[in-house]
C-alpha cells in the first residue's frame, strides 16, 4: 500500500520516529474513510492494519497489539462504544491509546473522560493533516 513517496525534508514529524515503525489499527466501516486514513498513515511510514467492523477490530487489537487505534464510533452491530468497553476489561490491551473518529455530534463528547486510553476525539470531516498530527502527537508522547 505504499502509494506515496515521502519528501522527508518536509516532514519534521517523521524524523521523530525513524527508529521504529508504529502499527496503527483502523476500525471504520466506511470503506472510503478507512482508505483515506490508511493511505495517509502508510505514506508517513506507519504500518497500518484495518478492520471494517468492531468485532474484527477487537480481535486484531488482541492479536496484533498495535501502538494506536483509530476508532469510528457508529458502526452496525457491535459499535465503537462496545469495543472500548471490551478493551477496558482486557488488561492486555486496556492501555493502548485510541483516537476516536466520530460523525455524530454529542454522542462521543464524553468518551474521553469515560474510557481510559482515549487520547483524542476527532470530529468528521477531518483533513489529512489533522489526522496525521493527532497520530504523530499521540505516538510521540506515548
Partner 1 sequence: MGLRRMVRNLAGQGNKAPTFERIIDQYKVSKAIAMAQTPDQVVEAMLSSPYLRAVSRASVLIFDKPWSETPPQAFVMLADWNRDKTQPSSTGERYLLEEYDLLDLCGRDEPVIIEDVRKDKRLGQQLRSTLVARQTHGLVLHPLSARGDWFGMLTVHFSDAVHPDALLHIAGLVGQVAVAIYTPLLIEVEAEAREEAEESEELKMKLLATISHELRTPLTSIKGFVTTLLADDVEWDPVSQRDFLETIDQETDKLTELVEQLLDLSRLEAGTLRVTPGRHNVRDIVATAMPQLEVLAANHQLHLRVPDGLPSVSADRRRIAQVLTNLVSNAAKYSPRGTNIVVAFARQDNHVRVDVSDEGPGIKAEERSQIFVPFRQGSRAASSGAGLGLAISRGIVQAHEGKLWIEDRDGPGTTLSFTLPTLETED
Which residues sit at the interface with partner 1, rule CB under 8 A?
3-7, 10-11, 29-33, 35-37, 39-40, 43-44, 52, 74, 76-77, 103-107, 124-129, 131-132
- Minimum separation from the CB atom of position 37 to partner 1 (A): 8
Cell numbers 469495543: residue: 83
Q: List strands edge to edge, sheet with 23-27.
A: 47-51, 23-27, 68-72, 98-102, 118-123
Q: Which is nearer to partner 1, 36 or 116 (CB)?
A: 36
Residues 6+ apart with CB under 8 A from 7: none
CA distances from 81 to 45, 75, 105 (A): 29, 10, 15
Q: Which is nearer to partner 1, 89 or 105 (CB)?
A: 105
The grid cell for 51 is 478492520
d(CA 140, CA 17): 8
- Minimum separation from the CB atom of position 69 to partner 1 (A): 18
Q: Which is nearer to partner 1, 93 or 103 (CB)?
A: 103
- Minimum separation from the CB atom of position 88 to partner 1 (A): 25
- Minimum separation from the CB atom of position 87 to partner 1 (A): 22
Amino acid at each position: 500500500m505504499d502509494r506515496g513517496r515521502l519528501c522527508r525534508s518536509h516532514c519534521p514529524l517523521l524524523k521523530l520516529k525513524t527508529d521504529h515503525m508504529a502499527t496503527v489499527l483502523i476500525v471504520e466501516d466506511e470503506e472510503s474513510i478507512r482508505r483515506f486514513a490508511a493511505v495517509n498513515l502508510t505514506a508517513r511510514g506507519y504500518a497500518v492494519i484495518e478492520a471494517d467492523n468492531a468485532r474484527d477490530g477487537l480481535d486484531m487489537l488482541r492479536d496484533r497489539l498495535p501502538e494506536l487505534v483509530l476508532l469510528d464510533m457508529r458502526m452496525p452491530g457491535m459499535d465503537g462504544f462496545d469495543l472500548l468497553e471490551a478493551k477496558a476489561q482486557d488488561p492486555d490491551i486496556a492501555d493502548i491509546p485510541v483516537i476516536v473518529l466520530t460523525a455524530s455530534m454529542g454522542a462521543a463528547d464524553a468518551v474521553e473522560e469515560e474510557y481510559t486510553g482515549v487520547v483524542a476525539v476527532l470530529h468528521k470531516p477531518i483533513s489529512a493533516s489533522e489526522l496525521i498530527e493527532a497520530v504523530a502527537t499521540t505516538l510521540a508522547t506515548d
